[in-house]
Amino acid sequence: MSVLTDTPDDIAIIGMACRLPGAPDYEAFWRAQRDGRFCVDEVPADRWRWQQYYSPRREDENKTVSKWGGFMAGVDLFDAALFRISPREAELMDPQQRIMLELAWSCFEDAGYAPSGLRGSDMGVYLGVCNFDYKMQVERAPAAIEAHMSTGVHTTLIPNRISYEFDLRGPSIPFDTACSSSLVALAEAVHALRRGDCKSALVGGVSVLLNPTHFISFSKAGMLSPRGVCRSFDEGADGYVRGEGAGLIMLKPLQQALHDGDKVYGLVKGVAVNHGGKVATVTSPNPFAQARCVELALRDAGLSPAAIQYIEAHGTGTPKGDPIEMHALTRAYASQAKAHGVALPARSCAIGSVKTSIGHLEAAAGIAGIIKVREVTYTSPEMAVISA
């Protein structure tokens, strides 16, 4: 990306942590991306027996055409003693709570802060989460209903557990907007930081796949690839592959981060959120609304399309969604190029999607894309996030 001008509204990314398919941390994730590794596999035996639910015939009752996914290792592991949590309470905690607690610790350390030094601060926590598999598992047939069940599976507790354990006093909010959850969380955190509602924030998303119910439902809806590959922006695209993962970034207003001597991975320069309104179906995208959202994000960032050399797209690999997304992007770029009085040469901007290698992480999809494109520091030509 070409060199960008700092503005008072810029938000700095000063810390990161993640667990993604085939990668326990962001260094391993970047190596996998660099090497072109495909991190999708058959559903592991410790989740469920895919043989019981798989069928290549979409019409078969309670069967799915997909037996593949992007899976994290060790989702059943947790250092309960580190957080002074009893083994019994830990057992009833959604793995999404446990993973995000550990990632918060890692993210603080990556930013150069001791977790104890943040106690009492007004840091906000904004997390995307739209997966409830563990809740379904726990409530399906409990031997005995226990007090820890409610706090263990309540969505609110995923961010709130972080705020509680580290004594953080800023807003602590879960966001469920399906695939955009972690990006909507980012947008809300940026607005809060700009307003002064908090001085720093943790932002991210998490999704853990623990039962086949939604595999079957999404298969029936024609969303999943029967070949187990997300072919983003490919004429052979036939659906997406489900994946799981978790990621966190730590944010501060840029000027405060520079004053505090924080390392700066990249900048969030603009954000925008909207809805497609009334279209063909409740899950159908609207190319005009998508274009409008991109335009609003570019305006918020104060950027001309000519300044952007790469877009990390949604790119799920569905034959309906990808063409609509491409149409929306080209429409938005044409409009903003005209507004800025610039001509965009052919092939001026690359486009990609991390889903081709790790699958669609749903609530964590957006944060995975942000972490993917950060391979430079603020001291060299910087990465800027424009969330739409």
pLDDT in tens, 74-95: 999 999 999 999 999 999 999 9
Q: What is the pLDDT of residue 379?
A: 37
Alpha-carbon distance 312 to 52, whole Å?
A: 36
pLDDT band at 5 (very low <50, low <70, confident <90, very high): confident
pLDDT band at 375 (very low <50, low <70, confident <90, very high): low
3-state helix, strand, coil in the chain (%, to 5): 40, 15, 45
CATH value at residue 169:
3.40.47.10
pLDDT band at 380 (very low <50, low <70, confident <90, very high): very low
Output the CA torsion sign for 138, 144, 148, 149.
positive
Number of domains observed in the structure of the chain: 1
Mean pLDDT of 11-30: 97
- H or E stretch covering 14: strand 11-19
Alpha-carbon distance 319 to 56, whole Å?
A: 19
Tens-digit pLDDT profile for residues 252-278: 999 999 999 999 999 999 999 999 999
Alpha-carbon distance 323 to 193, whole Å?
A: 35
* Residue 69, in any domain of the structure: yes
3-class secondary structure for 193-233? Answer: HHHCCCCCEEEEEEECCCCCHHHHHHHHCCCECCCCCCCCC
HSE at residue 110, side-chain half, CA atoms within 13 A, is 23
* Residue 1, in any domain of the structure: no
- H or E stretch covering 126: strand 124-128
Tens-digit pLDDT profile for residues 297-308: 999 999 999 999
Tens-digit pLDDT profile for residues 203-259: 999 999 999 999 999 999 999 999 999 999 999 999 999 999 999 999 999 999 999
* Residue 5, in any domain of the structure: no
* Residue 6, in any domain of the structure: no
96-105, 232-241, 286-295, 376-385, range with the lowest pLDDT = 376-385
Average pLDDT across the chain, whole number? 92
* Residue 2, in any domain of the structure: no
* Residue 141, in any domain of the structure: yes
Tens-digit pLDDT profile for residues 140-153: 866 678 888 888 89
Which residues pair with residue 213 across a beta bridge? Answer: none
Q: What one-letter code names the amino acid at 38?
A: F
Decide: residue 34, CB within 10 A, 0-12 exposed, 13-18 middle, 19+ buried.
exposed
Q: What is the pLDDT of residue 372?
A: 94
Considering only residues 199 and 5, tell me which one the structure prediction assigns the higher pLDDT. Answer: 199
Decide: residue 151, CB within 10 A, 0-12 exposed, 13-18 middle, 19+ buried.
middle
pLDDT of 127 above 70: yes
* Residue 225, in any domain of the structure: yes
Mean pLDDT of 139-168: 88
Encoded tokens for 213: 């119910």
* Residue 340, in any domain of the structure: yes
CA distances from 144 to 80, 132, 140, 152, 157 (A): 22, 20, 11, 14, 21
Q: What is the pLDDT of residue 142?
A: 65
Its domain, for residue 137, covers: 11-387
pLDDT band at 376 (very low <50, low <70, confident <90, very high): very low
Question: Among candidates 387, 319, 314, which has minimal Cα distance to 353?
Answer: 314
Q: What is the pLDDT of residue 191?
A: 98
pLDDT band at 386 (very low <50, low <70, confident <90, very high): low
